[in-house]
Amino acid sequence: MRHRNNKRATIRDVAKVAGVSPITASRAMQNSTKVRPATRQKVVDAARQLDYIPNLAAGTLATNASHLVAVILPNMSNSIFADTLQSISDSLRDSGYQLLVGYSDNSPELEESLVRTFLSRRADAIVLTGHVHSDQTNALLKSAAIPIVEMWSLNDEPLGACVGISNFDAAYSMTDYLFGKGHRKIGFIGGLLENNDRTQSRLDGYRAALMAHNLPIDESLIRDVPFEFEDGARAMRELLSNNNSLDAVFAASDILALGALLECNRRRLRVPGDIAVAGFDDERLAKLIKPSLTTIGVPRRAIGEKVAGVVLAALRGEAETQRVFDMGFSLVERESA
Amino acid sequence: MRHRNNKRATIRDVAKVAGVSPITASRAMQNSTKVRPATRQKVVDAARQLDYIPNLAAGTLATNASHLVAVILPNMSNSIFADTLQSISDSLRDSGYQLLVGYSDNSPELEESLVRTFLSRRADAIVLTGHVHSDQTNALLKSAAIPIVEMWSLNDEPLGACVGISNFDAAYSMTDYLFGKGHRKIGFIGGLLENNDRTQSRLDGYRAALMAHNLPIDESLIRDVPFEFEDGARAMRELLSNNNSLDAVFAASDILALGALLECNRRRLRVPGDIAVAGFDDERLAKLIKPSLTTIGVPRRAIGEKVAGVVLAALRGEAETQRVFDMGFSLVERESA
DNA sequence: CTCAAAAATGGTACCGGTATCATTTTAATG
DNA sequence: CATTAAAATGATACCGGTACCATTTTTGAG
């Protein structure tokens, strides 16, 4: 039942109805152990009777703890990040933390403005993707005195902690694998290399593997495109028209690889007979498409769980034993390469 | 430059440095018009000098406005909702609102707990997906006295406003279209029908179209599965093994349709020769897959923009002229059906 | 230059929780 | 039953903004 006036009940109202002091009512609602069960019951009943909804803004102001963990992702549409986000969310829920998510679009400026907002909202911790940030962002994060976690790539000198995989090693492995399958003219389709340390490292790994096998690095075999299916298809078209001896393509993302693969299908190129295609991420579609896609498996959920674990440990004030967590990758061999 | 002690500067600190009162400093930071340019400059300089970061929790408490718009989506992984979310976010950003997103997993209980949290954080408005809510949720929303928008489906009696499409009409149209192409044994793959008015309405539309053409409704042609590619493939397998005269399948989502289509490819069934496949949503992959997917186009971004528009109008206190916004759909005819 | 109106600025209190420390009540022990 | 430690409860103040209304300063007309 609500009162006639539509102003929301406060903890003081609840306390009055329960016949206790506001602070006792507050403790009762927090499940503090310092309240007698009978008292708690009175308070809970009063709260229910008044349709009491606590005001977290007031709580945040008083305790300087928002119970918000901010997460910055590059974009909304890539399901890769969605899986990691989901597992962070799941792992934090039980501890009473909620996610505040922002999307940077790979723009350091947008990221900086997100960080500012998150600090304004007094987020208890901030999780970022990658380690490319503006100087201002770095300064803000350093002086924030809250746990900071960078994820998805590794970094010897993380701002706080970092949880990810070696994108360099993974790309190196895949390129090496393609070489092992006899391919000598291997194209690379990267996504938005600028301000993206993940694709940048993957490109570096690709180059390093080529060099290790004394293959020339042909810049005309390298395409930098946005992260959509269509872009993968377009990049494949361009690579095919420029290089008639191309025999393999390694895409820095399954989205791009799938686009490329579909383009091959459309042209009735046999994969991997005429051309091999390899991706990165192990998207759900990768094993369903025909031919199924050889790719790099990334422990997306494990990354999220570890991120949440690191954040929680830091928030509990536990001493850090480790700052860099390499979650490992796997080369998933399927039909396409 | 930061001070020696690492406590954060407050508006009072800024005011002191600028040589004005706290309230004037506050006004200067809000870009209020009631401050002389010279004064504002002094305040802005002081704020910069102190690395001032406003505390939005305090602001929220004082003004009872959080500048947060809460959005509840069924899940994180469906890119359909990501597009709508993106456009809501884009449309609200300029007005200074930030999104607080939660995922209900199609569970009314989880949704209720999300609504409770959002109200606790004093969200300025709440956007929900669909109109299936628990009684408690309905009560909470009604008494919240903030703008409420339900999206993606239409509802004659929305809690506040609703912005979406007629899922019934769309499914009816597609089924009718399949009938027009000569198909008489049309299967239906729905996703998580329970607590999901969207798929439920689509099923109703499918049934109504069959009945309009005097076709029998065969429950063995209807599958209810989760929303992943694999589930679409599995449903297709089941339908094919049970009904050898099946000549078309309509899936309530492109994800499911793509899974079904890939299963057909795998079995070397000709689509649409042996069996026609139609989807719903017009996902990005739909026009790239081979054969390209006939589907229902939904104005995902337009829905988001309208939602944002309705929310902003309500927050500005503008009188509502309309409560139900039908954004329309389109039948996208491609190769698969 | 005067004076009224408008604009800018400031003092004080309040938003709704909770930390701190004091006080009261309860439980435990001999 | 007295005594004391432990547990529960409460009074007050504070977190950091801004609303409200009073006061001062500026502006512009006469």
- Asked if pLDDT for residue A195 goes beyond 90, the answer is no
Whether residues A30 and A71 share a domain: the answer is no
Mean pLDDT of the region A141-153:
95
| Tokens of residue B9, six digits | 């500067």
- Give me the CA A29–C1' C26 separation in Å, rounded: 22
- What is the share, in percent, of chain A residues with pLDDT greater than 70? 98
Q: Is residue B180 part of a domain?
A: yes
Euclidean distance between CA atoms B104 and B115, whole angstroms: 10
Q: Which residues are within 8 A (CB) of B186 and not within 5 positions of it... i.e. 6 or more apart?
A: B175, B178, B179, B206, B210, B215, B221, B247, B248, B249, B250
Nearest-CA distance A242 → chain B (Å): 22
In this complex, the answer to whether residue A61 has its CB under 7 A from any atom of chain C, a nucleic strand, is yes
- Asked if pLDDT for residue A33 goes beyond 80, the answer is no
Whether residues A269 and A191 share a domain: the answer is yes
Whether residue A57 and residue B61 make contact (CB cut-off 8 A), yes or no, is yes
At B4 the pLDDT is 40
Whether residue A266 and residue B290 make contact (CB cut-off 8 A), yes or no, is yes
The total of structural domains in chain A comes to 3
Judging contacts by C-beta atoms under 8 Å, the chain A residues touching residue B290 are 262, 265-266
At A142 the pLDDT is 93
Answer yes or no: are the C-beta atoms of A61 and B58 closer than 8 Å.
yes
Nearest-CA distance A249 → chain B (Å): 19
CATH number of the domain that residue A29 is part of: 1.10.260.40
- Exposed, middle or buried: residue B182 (CB in 10 Å: 0-12, 13-18, 19+)? exposed
At B6 the pLDDT is 63
Whether residues A43 and A98 share a domain: the answer is no
Judging contacts by C-beta atoms under 8 Å, the chain A residues touching residue B83 are 76-77
Mutation target among A63, A97, A264, A285 for the B interface, most CBs of B within 10 A: A285
Strands (E), A45-106: 68-73, 98-103
Q: What is the pLDDT of residues A159-181, one digit of tens each?
A: 999 999 999 999 999 999 999 99
- Asked if pLDDT for residue A5 goes beyond 60, the answer is no
Q: Is residue A1 part of a domain?
A: no
Q: Is residue A3 part of a domain?
A: no
| Tokens of residue A288, six digits | 């369903």
CATH number of the domain that residue B129 is part of: 3.40.50.2300
End-to-end CA distance of chain A: 65
Q: What is the pLDDT of residues A279-301, one digit of tens each?
A: 999 999 999 898 999 999 999 99
Helix ranges restricted to H, chain B: 11-18, 22-29, 37-49, 56-63, 79-93, 108-120, 135-143, 167-180, 197-212, 229-242, 254-266, 300-315
At B319 the pLDDT is 82
Cα–Cα separations (whole angstroms), residue B198 to A53, B62, B101, B298, B329: 31, 40, 20, 13, 14
Nearest-CA distance A68 → chain B (Å): 10
Euclidean distance between CA atoms A282 and A293, whole angstroms: 8
User: Which of A143, A228, A262 is nearest residue B2 as measured by Cβ atoms?
Assistant: A143
Whether residues A173 and A285 share a domain: the answer is yes
Whether residues A16 and A36 share a domain: the answer is yes
Q: Is residue A333 part of a domain?
A: no
User: Which of B102, B122, B265 is nearest residue A290 as measured by Cβ atoms?
Assistant: B265
Whether residue B229 and residue A285 make contact (CB cut-off 8 A), yes or no, is yes
- List protein-proximal bases of chain D (any atom < 7 A from a CB): 7-20
- Asked if pLDDT for residue A130 goes beyond 70, the answer is yes
Which segment of A2-11, A262-271, B303-312 scores lowest on mean pLDDT?
Answer: A2-11
Whether residues B191 and B280 share a domain: the answer is yes
Residues in a beta bridge with A98: A68
- Asked if pLDDT for residue A149 goes beyond 90, the answer is yes
In this complex, the answer to whether residue A20 has its CB under 7 A from any atom of chain D, a nucleic strand, is yes
Euclidean distance between CA atoms A22 and A73, whole angstroms: 41
Whether residues B76 and B89 share a domain: the answer is yes
At B261 the pLDDT is 95
Whether residues B72 and B149 share a domain: the answer is yes
Euclidean distance between CA atoms A76 and B101, whole angstroms: 12
Q: Is residue B61 part of a domain?
A: no
State whether residue B130 is helix, strand or coil: coil
Whether residues A253 and A218 share a domain: the answer is yes
Mutation target among A1, A55, A71, A89 for the B interface, most CBs of B within 10 A: A55
At A6 the pLDDT is 63
Nucleotide at minimal C1' distance from the A10 CA: C16
Answer yes or no: are the C-beta atoms of B279 and B58 closer than 8 Å.
no
- List protein-proximal bases of chain C (any atom < 7 A from a CB): 7-20
Helices B56-63 and A56-63: angle between axes, nearest 10 degrees = 140
- Asked if pLDDT for residue A247 goes beyond 50, the answer is yes
Euclidean distance between CA atoms A331 and A334, whole angstroms: 9
Range of the domain at A39: 11-54
Whether residues A179 and A257 share a domain: the answer is yes
At B2 the pLDDT is 38
Which residue's alpha carbon is at the shortest distance from the C1' of D12?
A23
At B159 the pLDDT is 93
Whether residues B72 and B221 share a domain: the answer is no
At A3 the pLDDT is 38
The series of mean pLDDT values per 10 residues for chain B, 337 residues long, is 62 94 93 83 94 96 96 88 93 94 93 96 97 95 95 93 97 98 95 87 97 95 92 95 89 95 92 95 92 96 97 90 96 96
C-alpha dihedral (B253, B256, B258, B261), degrees to nearest 10: -120
State the pairing for strand pair B330-332/B295-297. antiparallel
- Asked if pLDDT for residue A44 goes beyond 70, the answer is yes
- What is the residue-averaged pLDDT of chain A? 93
In this complex, the answer to whether residue A66 has its CB under 7 A from any atom of chain C, a nucleic strand, is no
Whether residues B71 and B34 share a domain: the answer is no
Q: Is residue A160 part of a domain?
A: yes
In this complex, the answer to whether residue B29 has its CB under 7 A from any atom of chain D, a nucleic strand, is yes
